[in-house]
Structure 1
Amino acid sequence: MGLGNWRKYFPHERIVKEYSSEVDVSAEDYSEVSSNEQGTEKKLSQDHEITKRVSVVTEEGTLRTDVPYELRDEADRKWWKFFDEFEYRANKEYKKSRNWYSFMYPNHTTQTKAERTLLYKLDLMIGLYFLMLCWSKSLNTNNYTSAYVSHMREDLNMKGNDYINTSVISNVGAIVFQLPFMYVLPRFPAHIILPIMDMGWTWFTFACFRANNLASLRAYRFLLSAFGAAYYPVSQYVLGSWYAPDEISSRVCLFFFGQLLGGVTSGLLQARIFKSLNGVLGHAGWRWMFLIDSMAISLPTAFIGFFVIPGIPSKCYSLFLTDEEIVIARRRNLRNQIKDGVQKSQLPSLLSLKLWKKVFCTPTFWVLVVFDTCSWNNMTAFSGSYTLWLDSIPSYSTVQVNNLSVLPACLGFAFVAICAFGADFFRCKWFFMVFAAMMNCISCAILIKWDVSSGAKWFAFLMTYWSVAPSPCLWSFINDFLRFDPQVKAITWIAIYSISQSTYAWIPSLAWKTEQSPRFKVGYTVSLVFGAIYGLWTFVVLYFYKRQERRHALDNGIILYNSKMSEPIPSFVESELVKEGEYYYLKSETNEPERVYN
C-alpha cells in the first residue's frame, strides 16, 4: 500500500470547496476536491441548482438565494406570541415545509434525500457515539455509589461524610481541568481531543480497581474527573455545529440516554458482579466493576472515537461523509447562522480584553450562568439519596439494593424523551422545562415531609429524574444562543459549565451530608428551591432568546416592520426582492426569483 493512500483509512481534514458569497459559484466548483481525495464523487446531486448570485448585502443585513422571505407586519402582534419560541426563529415557509411525522428529519431547506442521508449518518456517528461515550462516563460515576454500598465503604474504612467529600474532590478535578479547553476547543479537532482524554479516563478508572485506602481512591477519582473534563463541553460544541435548532434537542436526548443507561447498568452490573465475582482471585466485587468498566467499556470507546467523530462542517475529518454531504452541512449552517469554526490565524488571542468583554459584558452570559447553576443543583436524581434509602432498609440485601437502584433511571428515559422530543416536535423548549421543574418540586416536597406513606415515598423517589429531564432543552438553548462566534462559544460553554459545576462542588457537601442519610431534609429543600428558580428563570431565558432572534429576524427569513409605529417596509424589498406567491425571493439578473434549491 502506497503512503499516499493512508488518508483512506485514517481521519484527515477533508478539502472541499467552500461556499462563498464573494465569487461566482457553480455546481462544478463544489465538485472540486483535493488531489488526495481519489475515489470520491466527482459531481454533486442534480437536485441542487446553484446560481451565480448567491447573496446581496444591504444595510439591514445579507439577503440570500436559499431563503424565501416572509414580510411580517407586527402592528397587531398578540401578547401571547411571547410564548411562541420560534416566532422570530422561523418564517412561515420554514414551519410549513415539514410533515409532523418527520420532525426529526424535517428537510425544511432542501426537501432532498441528500440532507436526510446526512442526518442519518450524523445520528449514527455522533448521536450514537456520544450516547456510548456518556454511558461510559455515567457508568463509572454511578459505579462509585454502587461500590460504596457493595462493601467498598468497609474495605476502605469510609466513615461519616467521606462519601460526599470524595465526590466533591472528584468534581474539583473536572472544574480545574475544563479551563484550558477555552483555548483548545476552537483550535484542535475533537476527534483528537476526546480520545486522548478518554485514554486518561480509562487508566484512572482502572487505578480505582487498585485503590487500597481512601487517600488513593480520592487521588484516582480527582485525576479521573480531570481527564473527563472535556467530554461535556466538547460533545455539545460538536453537536451544536451540525444540527439545526429544531433538531438538536432530540440528539442531545441521545446523549442523556447514555447518562441514564449508566445509572441503570451500573446497579445491575454491580449486582451481577458482586454475586459472581466477589472474592474471585482475592478481589472484592466492587473492584471487579472498575476493572471491567475500564478495560471492556472505556478503552474501546476511546479508540472508536478517533474514527467516528467528524469534527465540524468547516473542518471536517470524517471518513464516512461524502463531499456533497459536507457542502450540505455547511449550507445548513449558513441558513441557521451557525458559525462553527474559523482558521487558527483568525482567532483572537485568549488574552484579548475585547474578547473577554464580549463574553462577560453581555447579559446573556449571566442569564445562562444562573440557568445552568439551577439545573446542576436541583438534580435530586444524582444525589445518591434513593440508593442510600434502599440501603437503610434491613429487609433488602446488597444485591436487591443494586437491582432496585435502577428504577428511577429507567423511568428517566421516558422523562427525558418527553422533554427532548416534545421540544423538537412542538418547537417549544420552555414548556417542557417548566413542566419538569414543577414535577421535580412536587417530588422534593414529598421527601421534605418524609413522614408519608410508603407508596408516596416510592412515588417521590421514582419522580426524581424529572430534575434531569429538561437538560437536553437547556443545552439546546445554550447552543442556539452561542451559534454566532466559535471562540466566544468555546469560552462561554466552558465558563458557564465551570461556574455551575463549581457550585455543585460545595453545595452538596453542605446539603447532602452522608451522616443525614437516609433523610436528607436540607438536600431536598435545596433541590426544591433551585428547581423552583429554574422553572421561573426559564421565562427570563425565553425573553432574552426572543430578543436575540428578533434582531436576527432577517437572517431567519423574516422581514419585520410595524405600520402602527410608522415603520415602513424596508426599501430593499422593492429593489432586491421579487414576490412569488406569499414569499419574497432574491432577484436574479433577469429579475426572476433565484433559488438554490428546487
Structure 2
Amino acid sequence: MRSFSKQRTYLPTLRVLPEEQLLYDGSEGSVSTVDEHDETLDFGKGDGTNVEAEIESESRDNEKVQHGVPYELRDEKGRKWWKYFDEFEYRANSEYRKKRTWYTFLYPNHLTQTKAERTLLYKLDLMIGLYFLMLCWCKSLDTNNYINAYFSGMQKDLNMTKNDYINTTAISNVGAIVLQLPFMYFLPRFPAHLILPIMDLGWSFFTFACYRANSLAELRAYRFMVSAFGSAYYPVSQIVLGAWYAPDEISSRVCLFFCGQLLGGVTSGLLQARTYKDLNGVHGLAGWRWMFLIDGIAISIPCAIIGYFVIPGVPSKCYSLFLSDDEIRVARARNKRLQIKDAVDSSKLLSLFSWKIWKKVFFTPAFWVLVVFDTCSWNNMTAFSGSFLFWLKTDHNFSVVKINNLSVLPACLGFVFVFFCAWGADLFRTKWIFMVFSQAMNCISCAILIKWDVSNSAKWFAFLITYFSVAASPCLWSFINDFLRLDPQLKAVTWIAIYSFSQSTYAWIPTLAWKTVEQPRFKTGYTVSLIFSIVYGLWTFVVLYFYKRNEKKNALGNGIILYNSDHGEAPPAFIETEMEKRGEYYFLKEKSKEKQDI
C-alpha cells in the first residue's frame, strides 16, 4: 500500500517552495534570483525630493524600487494632449513595451526572459483558460436550455403565460445575488480549487432537478438554486485569471471565458433540437426534460470534478499538480514586476465588519466608476433577451427544430466579435477603442430594431450583430482586475460588491424593459439597451481617466520614474545615490541590494 505522502502527489496540495523568485536583471536572456521576502527600497520619504511625496499614503507600500527591474526616467515636459488616449502610458515603461513583439502578444516571455515564462503561459491556457471556457460553456448551456426549453414545450407543460418567462429569469438572478455576498469572506481565505468544484456540484444537482419540475413554482425554486450555486463562478474565475496573467495578456484569456458562454448559446440550440427530435416522449419524458438531465449528469458533474484537479489557486498559494517549481517562481516574479498582489496571509486579513475595508470600498471614486461601468454591461445585452427566438417564432412559420437550429447564428458570429475586441485589446494594448467600437455597433443594432418597420434583411442584420453587446466584456473585466490588483482582500470585497450591485439591476430592469407580452418587437427593451450602450461607450472615457490617474500614482512600481521640468522639478536624488544606468534604463545598485539583505 502506498503511503499517504506518495498519494498526495495525485491530489492538489499547497506547493511550498524555497523562497526565491526570478527577476529580469537587465541582460538579454537571463534572470537573477532573489529572496521572496526581500524588501524593496521605498524612496517615498526622506530623500529630499517631492516626486513621491505627493503620492497617497495608501499606495506607498506598492511604490518601491525593486532589485533587478529596469526603470525608465521620464520627463513629462511638453506632454501632448493625445497621450490621454495612451492606455499603457503609466502602466508599463518603454522596456516592457519593447520586449514584446507584436506576433508574440499571446505568448510573450519579455518579463523574465526565460523559456519557463512562455511554457507557463501554455500550461495556464490549457489548465485555467480551457477549463473556464468549458465551465462557462456548462453555465451558459444551462441558461440557454431554459430559453430553448421554453420554446420546446415547457411553456405549455408548465402553463407559463404572460410575463412568466421573464419573471422566472428575474427570480433566478436573485439567487445569484444573495449567495454571492458570502464570498467576500470566502475568497481571500479558501483556495479556488475547493470553492468552485463544491459550488459546481450544487449547481449540477439543481440543473438535473429541473427535469422533474411539474409546476411553475417548482421550476422557479430549482432555477433559484441553480443561480445561487453558480454565483461563485464569475468572481472566482476572474480573480484566478487576474492572478496569473499580465495586463496585456488577460483580455485574450477572458475572451476564452466568454467563448464558453457563446459556445453554450450555440450548442444549446443544436442539442435541444436534436434532443427534441430523438428523445421527445422517450420513457414518457418531454424533450425539454431530457435536456436538463443530459446537462446535469453528463456535462456539469464531470466539469466540477475536473476543476478540483486543474484549478491552480494563485501563484503565491499554488496548488497545481502540473506546474514546475521554476514556473511557479516565474509566475511570482511576474506578479512582483507587475504589482499584482494575489494573496495575503489569513492572519493579516481584516474582519468584514471592519470600517477600514468599507471605507476603502465606498469612499473610493473608482468603485462607483466601475459600478456604473459594470451596470451598463449587464443591461445593454440584447443578445441574451431571447428576442431573436421570439421573432423567429412569431414572424416565420418555422418548426421547433428549425427555430432551435437558427437560434445559434448570432452566437456563432459572437465568437468573431469577442475575439476581435479581446485580442485587439491585448495586441495594441488599448481596450477602450474596442469597447467604444463594440457599443457603437450595438447602438446600430438597437436603432434598427426600435424602428422595426424595416426590410426583413435589415432585421436579420440587426439580430446577427447583437453579440457586439457582449464583445466588450473581456476588456471590461480586464479593467476591473487591473484596478483592484494591489490588495487581495479589498479586491474580493470590491469585486463582489460591484458584481452584486450591477447584477441586482439585471434582476429588475429586464422585467420592465423586456416584458414577454411585448414580443416580438420589444421596443422598450431595445430602447433601454440603446441608452445603456450609449452610456457604456461614453463612460469608457471616464474609466480611462481614473485608470490613468491611478497608474500615474503607481508609476514607480510600474518601472517609471516621473518628473516634470516644466514645473521646475528635477530627477529624484535617489537616482544618483542608489541607482546605476545600464543602457537606456536605471537599475538598483548592488550596494542597495546589500542594504535590503541586512
1:271 aligns to 2:254 (yes or no): no
Cα deviation, 1:575-596, whole Å, max 9, x if unaligned, reads: 111112211111113999x9xx
* Root-mean-square deviation (Å): 1.8
Quote the residue 1:4 is aligned against: 5
1:237 aligns to 2:239 (yes or no): yes
Quote the residue 1:286 is aligned against: 288
1:57 aligns to 2:42 (yes or no): yes
Pairwise CA distance, 1:68: 0.8
1:466 aligns to 2:449 (yes or no): no
Q: Which amino acid aligns with 2:374?
A: D
Pairwise CA distance, 1:236: 0.3
1:485 aligns to 2:468 (yes or no): no
Q: In the aligned structure 1, how far is the partner of 2:21 from the partner of 2:115?
A: 24
Pairwise CA distance, 1:18: 3.1
- Whether the 8 Å CA contact 1:71–1:559 is kept in 2: the answer is yes
SS in 2 for 1:451: coil
Bigger drift between 51-60 and 297-306 goes to: 51-60
Quote the residue 2:56 is aligned against: none
Q: In the aligned structure 2, how far is the partner of 1:223 from the partner of 1:395?
A: 36
- Whether the 8 Å CA contact 2:21–2:329 is kept in 1: the answer is no
Cα deviation, 1:21-45, whole Å, max 9, x if unaligned, reads: 9xxx9x9xxxxxxxxxxxxxxxxxx
Q: Which amino acid aligns with 2:31?
A: H
- Whether the 8 Å CA contact 1:253–1:416 is kept in 2: the answer is yes
Cα deviation, 1:190-218, whole Å, max 9, x if unaligned, reads: 00000000000010001101001111000
Q: In the aligned structure 2, how far is the partner of 1:421 from the partner of 1:152?
A: 39
Quote the residue 1:366 is aligned against: 368
Q: In the aligned structure 2, how far is the partner of 1:20 from the partner of 1:157?
A: 62
Q: Which residue of the other structure, out of 28, 43, 48, is the alignment partner of 2:31?
A: 48
Bigger drift between 573-582 and 48-57 goes to: 48-57
Distance change >3 Å, CA 547–CA 591, structure 1 → 2: closer
TM norm structure 2? 0.93
- Whether the 8 Å CA contact 1:19–1:330 is kept in 2: the answer is no
SS in 2 for 1:560: strand
- Whether the 8 Å CA contact 2:21–2:333 is kept in 1: the answer is no
Quote the residue 2:103 is aligned against: 101
- Whether the 8 Å CA contact 1:19–1:331 is kept in 2: the answer is no
Quote the residue 1:155 is aligned against: 157
Distance change >3 Å, CA 388–CA 350, structure 1 → 2: same
Q: In the aligned structure 1, how far is the partner of 2:72 from the partner of 2:297?
A: 56
SS in 1 for 2:339: coil
Distance change >3 Å, CA 327–CA 591, structure 1 → 2: closer
Cα deviation, 1:460-486, whole Å, max 9, x if unaligned, reads: 000100000000000000000000001
Quote the residue 1:169 is aligned against: 171
Pairwise CA distance, 1:65: 2.1
1:140 aligns to 2:142 (yes or no): yes
Q: In the aligned structure 2, how far is the partner of 1:67 from the partner of 1:77?
A: 25
Quote the residue 2:60 is aligned against: none
1:224 aligns to 2:209 (yes or no): no
Q: In the aligned structure 1, how far is the partner of 2:177 from the partner of 2:471?
A: 23
Cα deviation, 1:351-372, whole Å, max 9, x if unaligned, reads: 0011110111100000000000
Q: In the aligned structure 1, how far is the partner of 2:416 from the partner of 2:113?
A: 31
Q: In the aligned structure 2, how far is the partner of 1:402 from the partner of 1:66?
A: 57
Q: Which residue of the other structure, out of 399, 402, 414, is the alignment partner of 2:401?
A: 399
Q: In the aligned structure 2, how far is the partner of 1:365 from the partner of 1:574?
A: 39
Identity %: 71
- Whether the 8 Å CA contact 2:30–2:113 is kept in 1: the answer is no
Q: Which amino acid aligns with 1:140?
A: D
Pairwise CA distance, 1:67: 1.4
Quote the residue 2:126 is aligned against: 124
- Whether the 8 Å CA contact 2:20–2:34 is kept in 1: the answer is no
1:18 aligns to 2:1 (yes or no): no
Q: Which residue of the other structure, out of 331, 334, 337, is the alignment partner of 2:333?
A: 331
Q: In the aligned structure 1, how far is the partner of 2:237 from the partner of 2:302?
A: 18
1:108-119 residue pairs with structure 2 within 5 A? 108-119=110-121
Q: In the aligned structure 2, how far is the partner of 1:17 from the partner of 1:312?
A: 17
Q: In the aligned structure 2, how far is the partner of 1:211 from the partner of 1:399?
A: 23
Quote the residue 1:295 is aligned against: 297
Quote the residue 2:345 is aligned against: 343
Bigger drift between 51-60 and 426-435 goes to: 51-60
Q: In the aligned structure 1, how far is the partner of 2:238 from the partner of 2:265?
A: 21
- Whether the 8 Å CA contact 2:112–2:334 is kept in 1: the answer is no
Q: Which runs of 5+ in 2 are unaligned?
A: 45-51, 53-62
Quote the residue 1:34 is aligned against: none
Q: In the aligned structure 2, how far is the partner of 1:159 from the partner of 1:392?
A: 16
Quote the residue 1:209 is aligned against: 211
Cα deviation, 1:454-513, whole Å, max 9, x if unaligned, reads: 000000000100000000000000000000001110011100000000000000000000
Q: In the aligned structure 1, how far is the partner of 2:254 from the partner of 2:314?
A: 16
Cα deviation, 1:137-193, whole Å, max 9, x if unaligned, reads: 000000000000001100111000000000000000000000000000110000000
Cα deviation, 1:382-404, whole Å, max 9, x if unaligned, reads: 11101111111342110000000
1:500 aligns to 2:483 (yes or no): no
SS in 2 for 1:64: coil
TM norm structure 1? 0.93
Q: In the aligned structure 2, how far is the partner of 1:467 from the partner of 1:19?
A: 44
1:447 aligns to 2:469 (yes or no): no
Q: In the aligned structure 2, how far is the partner of 1:87 from the partner of 1:466?
A: 27
- Whether the 8 Å CA contact 1:252–1:472 is kept in 2: the answer is yes
Q: In the aligned structure 1, how far is the partner of 2:9 from the partner of 2:158?
A: 50
Quote the residue 2:48 is aligned against: none
SS in 1 for 2:366: helix
* Higher helix fraction (1 or 2): 2
Distance change >3 Å, CA 572–CA 275, structure 1 → 2: same
Q: Which amino acid aligns with 1:158?
A: M
- Whether the 8 Å CA contact 1:135–1:258 is kept in 2: the answer is yes
Pairwise CA distance, 1:549: 0.3
Pairwise CA distance, 1:98: 1.1
Q: In the aligned structure 2, how far is the partner of 1:152 from the partner of 1:393?
A: 21
Q: In the aligned structure 1, how far is the partner of 2:125 from the partner of 2:413?
A: 23
- Whether the 8 Å CA contact 1:578–1:591 is kept in 2: the answer is no
- Whether the 8 Å CA contact 2:165–2:516 is kept in 1: the answer is yes
Pairwise CA distance, 1:559: 0.8
Quote the residue 2:313 is aligned against: 311
SS in 2 for 1:584: strand
SS in 1 for 2:184: helix
Q: Which amino acid aligns with 1:292?
A: I
Quote the residue 2:181 is aligned against: 179
Q: Which amino acid aligns with 1:8?
A: T
Quote the residue 2:528 is aligned against: 526
Quote the residue 2:85 is aligned against: 83
